[in-house]
């Protein structure tokens, strides 16, 4: 009895359907595996829906990992306007892993920005605030609360008060006079003048003298650092929307933030050290600037009077944020139907029984 033998010479695999799969390069295989891992993490990290969870406003379906980021395009304001026509003035999006509520009608915006502004006053935590705002300690990025109110109070009373601004009137007058003289000389010589550039230089000189007590210094390229700071603050950072990609720094933004933060620290340290030496040097003609004011207040403790009760109420507000959002949606529906009733469902929320008054 003869035994039949089969030869698989020239075949990739003895399994027939594998023969139709093309060979993949290592890079393609690595990308495929990475996308598979990302999808798996996205599925695990999705919040579980509970029956008692408040229903979100209507919105488009989101994709894994990127959510609705692909729908914003190069002109996000126009894309959001088009989506609002379809899903209404209050809609929900998912930007990466960040749930987002978009408000596009004046009535709904008033509810968020005026009626319940303290509930939604805090800014989202961004990667740029961690590096360039000393861990969200700056007034622009810090969470709304006692710390923010005291910092704003310090700026309002000590740095930007009417008397403080008036004290810099001679500085502004001198700088404007210098600009006018330079324009007269250019006009007499029939030279072309970039007036926009001159005005920018004027603002830069006045700002430097108000903050640092002197004109811009060639030793510190502060203008370039500030421009880099603003560029990083306004850049689209994928790590803000897909947090687990932050460690990879795919865009190189974190590296630029660290470099800019280090350079700014060096400049500020040198300026502060120079100001600390002024009292011992006996300079009488030194202008009191913002740095001097901040140094004089550095060792004075803040007095957050009656902040414990406020903190307790703010924590309660944070816990009930979802309930607030649901009531806002209900109230907006009533407004759109012509029911202009000021006593809305918000009066039934328990934490509004304790109104919070901001200290002057």
Residue 186 has a CB neighbour count (10 Å cut-off) of 13
Helix (H, G, I), strand (E, B) or coil at 277: helix
Q: What's the burial of 153, exposed, middle or buried (CB within 10 Å: 0-12/13-18/19+)?
A: middle
pLDDT for the residue numbered 86: 94
Helix orientation angle between 195-212 and 169-188, rounded to the nearest 10 degrees: 150
Give the Å distances, CA to CA, from 11 to 7, 35, 271.
9, 30, 74
pLDDT of residue 205 exceeding 80: yes
> What pLDDT digit, counting tens, does each position of 29-71 carry?
777 677 777 666 666 555 555 556 678 899 999 988 889 999 9
Strands 90-95 and 98-103: antiparallel
For residues 110-129, give the mean pLDDT.
89
Q: What is the DSSP string of 93-114?
A: EEETTEEEEEE-SHHHHHIIII
pLDDT of residue 11 exceeding 80: no
d(CA 104, CA 102): 7
Q: Which of 43, 80, 33 is nearest to 65 (CA)?
A: 43
Q: What are the structural domain ranges in the chain?
A: 54-104, 132-297, 307-353
d(CA 125, CA 182): 45
Q: What is the pTM of this model?
A: 0.66
Pair 91, 59: CB distance under 8 Å: yes
Pair 250, 140: CB distance under 8 Å: no
Q: Tell me the CB-side half-sphere exposure of residue 113, using CA atoms within 13 A.
A: 9
For residues 156-160, give the mean pLDDT.
85
d(CA 312, CA 146): 11
d(CA 307, CA 144): 13
* Superfamily of 132-297 according to CATH: Cytochrome P450 (1.10.630.10)
Query: pLDDT-derived band of residue 244, with 50, 70 and 90 as boundaries?
Result: confident
* Residue 92 DSSP label: E
């Amino acid at each position: 009895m003869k035994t039949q033998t089969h030869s698989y010479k020239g075949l990739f695999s003895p399994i027939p359907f594998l023969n139709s799969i093309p060979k993949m390069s290592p890079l393609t295989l690595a990308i495929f595996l990475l996308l598979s891992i990302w999808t798996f993490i996205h599925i695990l990290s999705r919040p579980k829906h509970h029956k008692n969870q408040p229903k979100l406003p209507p919105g488009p379906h989101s994709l894994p990992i990127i959510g609705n980021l692909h729908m914003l395009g190069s002109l996000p304001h126009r894309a959001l306007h088009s989506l609002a026509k379809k899903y209404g003035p209050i809609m929900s999006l998912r930007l990466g892993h960040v749930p987002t509520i978009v408000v596009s009608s004046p009535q709904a915006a008033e509810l968020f920005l005026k009626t319940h502004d303290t509930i939604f006053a805090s800014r989202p935590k961004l990667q740029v605030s961690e590096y360039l705002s000393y861990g969200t300690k700056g007034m622009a990025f810090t969470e709304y609360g006692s710390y923010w109110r005291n910092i704003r109070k310090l700026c309002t009373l000590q740095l930007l008060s009417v008397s403080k601004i008036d004290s810099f009137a001679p500085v502004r007058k001198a700088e404007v006079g210098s600009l006018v003289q330079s324009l007269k000389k250019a006009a007499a010589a029939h030279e072309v003048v970039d007036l926009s550039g001159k005005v920018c230089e004027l603002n830069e000189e006045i700002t430097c003298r108000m903050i640092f007590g002197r004109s811009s210094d060639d030793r510190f390229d502060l203008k370039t650092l500030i421009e880099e700071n603003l560029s990083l603050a306004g850049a689209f950072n994928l790590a803000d929307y897909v947090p687990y990609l932050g460690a990879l720094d795919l865009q190189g933004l974190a590296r630029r933030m660290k470099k800019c933060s280090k350079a700014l620290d060096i400049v500020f340290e040198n300026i502060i050290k120079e100001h600390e030496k002024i009292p011992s040097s006996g300079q009488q003609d030194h202008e009191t600037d913002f740095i001097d004011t901040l140094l004089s207040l550095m060792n004075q403790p803040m007095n957050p009077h009656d902040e414990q009760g406020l903190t307790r109420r703010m924590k309660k507000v944070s816990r009930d944020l979802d309930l607030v959002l649901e009531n806002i949606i209900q109230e907006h529906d009533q407004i759109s139907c012509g029911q202009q009733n000021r006593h809305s469902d918000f009066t039934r929320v328990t934490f509004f029984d304790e109104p919070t008054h901001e200290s002057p």
